[in-house]
Amino acid sequence: MLKQILSKLPRKSSKSDSLDSAGSESGSNTPNLGSGFQCTIGGSSLTSKLNVVKRVSSAVFPSSIAAGAEAVEPHLSFKEVSNPQKHSLFISKLNLCCEFVDSSDPVKQDLKRETLIELVDYVSSGTVKFTEPAISALCKMCAVNLFRVFPPKYRSNFTGGETDDEEPMFDPSWSYLQIVYDLLVRFISYTSLDIKVAKKHVDHSFIVKLLDLFDSEDPRERDCLKTILHRIYGKFMVHRPFIRKAVSNIIYRFVFETERHNGISELLEIFGSVISGFALPLKEEHKIFLWRALIPLHKPKSVGIYHQQLTYCVVQFIDKDPKLASTVIKGLLKFWPVTNSQKELMFLSELEEVLEMTSMDEFQRIMVPLFRRIRCCLNSSHYQVAERAHLLWNNEHILNLIAHNRQVIFPLVFPAIERNTQNHWNQAVLNLTLNVKKTFCDMDEELVLACQCKLEEENKRSSAAAEKRRLTWERLETAAGVQPVACNFLSPIKPPACPVVC
């Protein structure tokens, strides 16, 4: 019964089978609609060719990127393909540039360089659409070509960066690294870039590895990184707190551990513009960055390499909040150099810029320890330090602060000025000292006379004390000379006899 029922059902496969057999026997171009689409040209099927292309594409491109896109030969030019295929070709070329090229193979190097230039030109045209597969492929290509570990620093006199006497070291692979950086800059700056999609790939891990590249010894690379990080900070607002924290960690490691880093000046240059954009009132996080990162940066010996950028950052903070001036000056006094005269000159120039922005209330909080330090600089045997300290009186704002607080400042500074007029070896410093003394007399001559009388009394007391010490030592030496020499020693004690015979 069951067999009879099944035999009466219609059979649909016979017709399709006949069509398939007829299509395979014909020698002309015959489209066939059966179980699937198949096209034959001159007796040869395209199925095998499509399978080959599929195998090639799966070997070169990740399945997640090539999914849903037609595979395109990466060596083709963008002019040789249609507009719908350009996106696939763009991804194909990005993945081709992920391959490592040995430096001993100039042919492959030139091919990779030409491919990178072609990618930059395509992005510059403004027709590229940065979909998620394209963003993923581009970030992967940049990571493969840029992120690397630098060799150990072998310079014996290395102190945290390039000094004026050292020639910068250039990376031999810069010819194609520069093109990769150019492509990354154009990607970050692309106007129609979807930030919500891009931030999935330009993530915290990508930013940390990008920051690690600031330790490169090639100044050209650090300059490109400076541009890229600044644009990432401006465009990816969600990453701003993380970038500030990551840069703080780099500074902490440099100040308190290694004192070796090539990119501190570039990082500070970026943060100079970042600080100028801080909203008011300043957040506590920003003030902590000033206290824990910027002020301790005055400590390393290599501060001269980045001092100009550091001063700009500090001044920007004071411009935002003038109440921070006293905090900055206390930090300068804490890390003030004692034996490094060149560093002391830099501190004096920075101190003048800070004092120009200091209010009267903040100045009165720190004027006593500040002018105790300036007093030491006035008496410095290094004539440049002494000259720079005297030149503070040429600043009108600082002179106004001194004039309003002369009752406290004159007694602190006047002994140093008198000592210079009597003992300093340099004529230029001596002339500057006389000018400062004349300025004091013009401000308040009575106070200067009072300070002079007080100084004379102190000199008399110190002379009397010195004479008293001299007489005391003479009496001690006389008393020591009267006693016989033998009385100064104890008589030797004979050891007890040993009862045991050895």
Q: How confident is the model at residue 109 (pLDDT cuts 50, 70, 90)?
A: confident
Q: How many residues does the chain have?
A: 502
Per-residue model confidence (pLDDT) at position 58: 39
Q: Which residue has the tokens 């992005």?
A: 123
Q: How far apart are CA 84 and CA 127, in angstroms?
A: 11
Tell me how far apart the alpha carbons of residues 210 and 261 are, in angstroms, rounded to a whole number: 15
Tens digit of each residue's pLDDT (9 = 90 or more) over 326-346 = 999 999 999 999 999 999 999
CB atoms within 10 A of CB 216: 20
Mean pLDDT of the 226-244 span: 95
Of the pLDDT bands very low, low, confident and very high (cuts 50, 70, 90), residue 297 is very high
Distance CA 392, CA 287 (A): 28
How far apart CA 66 and CA 73 sit, in angstroms, is 12
- On the question of pLDDT at 237 being above 90, the answer is yes
pLDDT band at 492 (very low <50, low <70, confident <90, very high): low
What is the rounded average pLDDT for all residues in the chain?
83
Q: Is 406 left (phi over 0), alpha (psi -120 to 50) or beta?
A: alpha
Q: What is the C-alpha to C-alpha distance for residues 438 and 433, in angstroms, rounded to an integer?
A: 9
Kindly give, in sequence order, each residue whose CB lies less than 8 Å from that of residue 33, ignoring residues fewer than 6 positions away: 19
Asked if pLDDT for residue 222 goes beyond 70, the answer is yes
Question: Quick one: pLDDT at residue 409?
Answer: 95
Query: For position 63, what pLDDT does the model report?
Result: 40
Q: How distant is the alpha carbon of residue 246 from its chain centre?
A: 10
Task: Residue 490: count other Cβ atoms within 10 Å of its Cβ.
Answer: 6
Q: Would you say residue 363 has pLDDT above 60?
A: yes
Q: Give the residue with greater pLDDT, 248 vs 68.
A: 248
281 upstream amide cis, omega within 30 of 0: yes
| For residue 70, pLDDT beyond 70 | no
Does the pLDDT value for residue 366 go beyond 60? Answer: yes
- Angle at which helix 341-356 crosses helix 303-320, to 10 degrees, equals 10
pLDDT of 420: 93
C-alpha angle 243/244/249, rounded to 5°?
A: 95
From residue 310, alpha-carbon distances to 118, 162, 229, 271 in Å are: 40, 16, 18, 9
pLDDT for residue 498 is more than 90: no
CA neighbours closer than 13 Å in the CB half-sphere of residue 135 = 19
Q: How many CA atoms lie within 13 A of 92 on its CB side?
A: 21
As a whole number, mean pLDDT of residues 183-191 equals 94
Q: Which helix (H) or strand (E) holds 38?
A: strand 37-38
Q: Average pLDDT in the 414-443 region? A: 93
| φ and ψ of 263, to 5 deg | -110, 20
Q: What is the CA radius of gyration of the chain?
A: 40
Cα 391 to the center of its chain, rounded Å: 33
pLDDT at 360 over 80: yes
Share above pLDDT 70 across residues of the chain, in percent, rounded to a whole number: 79
What's the pLDDT score for residue 502?
Answer: 39
- Of 191-195, 206-210, 480-484, the poorest mean pLDDT is in 480-484
The per-residue pLDDT for 350 is 97
Identity of the amino acid at 381: S
What are residue 33's DSSP bridge partners? 37
Phi and psi at residue 295, to the nearest 5°: -65, -45
| Residue 45, phi then psi, degrees to nearest 5 | -90, 145
DSSP summary character for residue 392: G
Q: Is the dihedral of CA 409, 410, 412, 416 positive or negative?
A: positive
For residue 57, pLDDT beyond 80: no
Residues 1-44 have pLDDT tens digits of 455 555 655 554 444 444 344 344 444 443 343 333 343 334 44
User: How confident is the model over 137-156, as pLDDT tens digits?
Assistant: 999 999 999 999 888 765 44
Asked whether residue 254 carries a pLDDT value surpassing 80, the answer given is: yes
Per-residue confidence (pLDDT) for residue 73, from 0 to 100? 81
Residue 368 backbone dihedrals phi, psi, to 5 degrees: -70, -55
Contact 102, 108 (CB under 8 A): yes
Could you tell me the two tokens for 306?
């980045």
